[in-house]
Amino acid sequence: MPNRVRAAALGLAVLTCLAPRPAAAQGSVWTRKHLFGDWGGVRTDLARRGVALGA
């Protein structure tokens, strides 16, 4: 059983290292249109469907 836990932990560590890095934020916090960006296109897709997110 301990070997399975170690193998799972090692597998998760390897997958974490292989994950793509998030894109760097564009511009200053004070000049961005949205604080957290476009969420990989999700915000734009929601806007096309009529869901507007704002504060």
**pLDDT for residue 25:** 65
The whole-angstrom distance between residue 27's C-alpha and the CA centroid of its chain comes to: 18
Please state whether 38 falls in left (phi above 0), alpha (psi between -120 and 50) or beta.
alpha
Query: What pLDDT, in 10s, does the model give residues 3-55?
Result: 899 999 999 999 888 888 777 766 787 888 888 888 888 889 999 999 988 76
Sign of CA dihedral 32, 35, 54, 21: positive
Contact 43, 54 (CB under 8 A): no
User: pTM for the complete prediction?
Assistant: 0.43
